[in-house]
A and B are shown apart, each in its own frame.
Chain A
């Protein structure tokens, strides 16, 4: 039984007289606990696809089913980690996480429990020490950690990651990727991640969804990454399966669906 299902999703944007078809007939099913990455060149509509799952954009036709029920508005069951962290600058790290916790567990948890749960999630991403800092006082990597904590704290059924490591330097990115892997291992979340980094996709995912170029982008190919978990970055570099998967994605992106510069 599919946990999350994108069913014949089409998306067209209309601006004045011109209509652009961004996504065409997207069908994808994701099982519980699965880590799925969507990869494609920029402009192929992968962000639009994630926004449709998040409910921030509505599909023109088709729909998204989460546990057999249609979702078409945003909600904490599909928490998003945004590319640019999107922490509210006037709130402290703790308050940013607590904002979501207070809404989601308003009726099910007492005030003390909500406080403990907020701290628990900050601890998961090793950010408890900075709980009273404001976003502009911490580094980019730390902000993204808080963004992850905020999303995790809502106990989402599906965690949506929108190029979560895109704005980070290579070392911080590797560090955070390891953290996300560890969290996925520990909590068993269902994760849908957008990326344009081939290594990141292969390292983290159970399956990689490769998108063709837009307009009218669709799923070109889905690759199973049959690597056992937990995965170790260093050991994988020479692993035959890893190298083969990486090769497949690279071939798809740079040979068969080369990015054509839009005129």
Chain B
């Protein structure tokens, strides 16, 4: 009984003392933040951007300086950054030339690699989601397939290449197959986990509404498992970009992998450095791309 008595006692005491200053200070407080918001907001945004951009720039500059210092002396095995730039000036500023054969600009090499990745990865995405759904949905499919997949997924991508060359008797489909076989496992496994984790509630809703299997797949399974599926897709795109360079080194032809190998054979070390830079940037962009698509697609599900 003492609790309510205490609160009702203290409540009226607070009201008169508090109301006067809040009324007075409220007019001041609401006025002040209204005046300088624009300039302040830009400063704030600039500061936030600087916090993100400046540290990596500093590290990059330090890295280039150290590299330059280490490799500047005569007889150094690797070229310093300044040499890389002067050696590859043509390649940087004219990526679109095409002299026939494999004597093409870097754009065409990267385009050929990206095309192989796009095809192999697209097949992997479709097959991976389909097989993952099967494994996630059916206990028997899981029991039968999961142990086999666990073994297969540990095989290094390049180990598949000779076998696929023997099967396809051509470089192009072999490279695509290697991309596919590399990136399909994480997609399968993550999709299966996502499907298995669909809450029983959603299944109940689908049962009451009487969705048919196709509608259930499209309207419940895929959206509910989307965060998991995109985790797999993101790992998959990274792996396929890792695998393409190695595969192309072996199959030859146009492609960034063979460009690097060709540069090594011709002792154009600077060209290798430039190609690695592009490979890194593109890998980064691919990863971000899938992450962004995933974020947009799963905006409802992820925040559940």
Contacts and interface: CB of A to CB of B under 8 A. Distances in A.
A88 interface: yes
Given A75-B210, A99-B219, A91 B205 contact: no
A90 B226 CA distance: 10
Interface residues of A, number: 25
Interface stretch (A10-18, A78-86, A171-179): A78-86
Contacts of B304: 89, 135-136
B217 interface: no
A106 to B, nearest CB: 10
Contact of A56 (B207, B215, B299): B207
A154 B300 contact: no
Contacts, number: 62
Q: Chain A CB within 10 Å — which of B202, B208, B301 has the most?
A: B208
A88 B208 contact: no
B211 interface: yes
Contacts of A214: none
Interface in B288-304: 298-301, 303-304
Contact of B209 (A73, A99, A136): A99
Contact of B210 (A91, A103, A136): A103
Interface string B91-107: 00000000000000000
A105 to B, nearest CB: 12
Q: Is the interface of B mostly helix, strand, loop or mixed?
A: helix
B303 A103 contact: no
A91 to B, nearest CB: 7
Could you say which interface size class chain B belongs to? 20 to 34
Contacts of A136: 300, 303-304
A76 interface: yes
A121 to B, nearest CB: 14
Contact of A86 (B201, B211, B298, B303): B201
Contacts of B219: 88, 99
Given A88-B223, A91-B300, A99-B219, A56 B210 contact: no
B201 A82 contact: yes
A78 B300 contact: no
Interface string B55-97: 0000000000000000000000000000000000000000000
Nearest to A102: B209
A134 interface: yes
B204 interface: yes
Contacts of B254: none
A74 interface: yes
A75 B223 contact: no
Contact of B205 (A86, A134, A135): A86
Contact of A103 (B204, B211, B220, B301): B211
A74 B223 contact: no
A54 interface: yes
A74 B220 contact: no
A100 interface: yes
A90 B223 contact: yes
Contacts of B223: 88, 90
A176 B301 CA distance: 27
A74 B300 contact: no
Contacts of B300: 89-91, 134, 136
Nearest to A74: B207
B201 A76 contact: no
Contacts of A56: 204, 207-208
Contacts of B303: 89, 136
A135 B202 CA distance: 14
B209 A76 contact: yes
A89 B219 CA distance: 12
Interface in A38-56: 54-56
A155 to B, nearest CB: 13
A80 B208 contact: yes
A90 to B, nearest CB: 3
A88 B208 CA distance: 14
Contacts of A90: 223-224, 226, 298-301
20 contacts: A54-B204, A55-B207, A74-B204, A76-B209, A76-B210, A78-B208, A80-B204, A82-B204, A86-B204, A88-B219, A89-B300, A89-B301, A90-B224, A99-B219, A103-B209, A103-B210, A103-B211, A134-B300, A136-B303, A154-B209
Given A74-B210, A88-B205, A88-B224, 8 more contacts: A56-B204, A74-B207, A74-B208, A76-B209, A80-B204, A82-B204, A89-B304, A134-B300
